[in-house]
A and B are shown apart, each in its own frame.
Chain A
Amino acid sequence: MSLLKSREVVLGGVIVLLLAAIASRFPGFVAPANLGRVFTDTSPLILLALGQMAVILTKCIDLSVAANLALCGMVAALMDGMGVPMPVILGTVVVMGAGLGAINGALVWGLGIPSIVVTLGTMTIYRGTIFLLTEGAWINAHQMSDAFKAVPRQVILGLPVMAWIAVAAIAGVAVLMTRTALGRAFYAVGGNPHAAVYTGISVGRTQFAAFVLAGALAGLTGYLWVARYAVAYVDIAGGFELDVVAACVIGGIAIAGGAGTVAGAVMGALFLGIIKNALPVVGISPFWQMAISGAAILAAIAFNARRRDPGRIILKRAEVRA
Chain B
Amino acid sequence: MGMYIIRRMLLAVPLLWAISLLTFILINLSPMDPAVVVLQAQGVPSITDELIERTQQQLGLDQPFLVRYLNWMLDCLQLDFGNSYITGQSVWALIGPAFLNTLRLTLVSAVSIIAVSVLLGVLCALQAGRVLDKSVRTLAFILTAIPSYGLAALLVWYFSVRLDLLPTSGMDSYRSYILPVLIITISYAGLYFRNVRSSMLSNMNKDYVLYGRASGLPERVITMHILRNSLQVAISIFCMAIPIILGSTVVVENVFAWPGLGSLSIRAILSRDFPVIQAYVLILAVSFVIFNAISDMINAAMNPKLRNGL
Do chains A and B stick together as partners? no
Write the residues of chain B forming the contact surface with A, with a CB cutoff of 8 angstroms.
none
Write the residues of chain A forming the contact surface with B, with a CB cutoff of 8 angstroms.
none
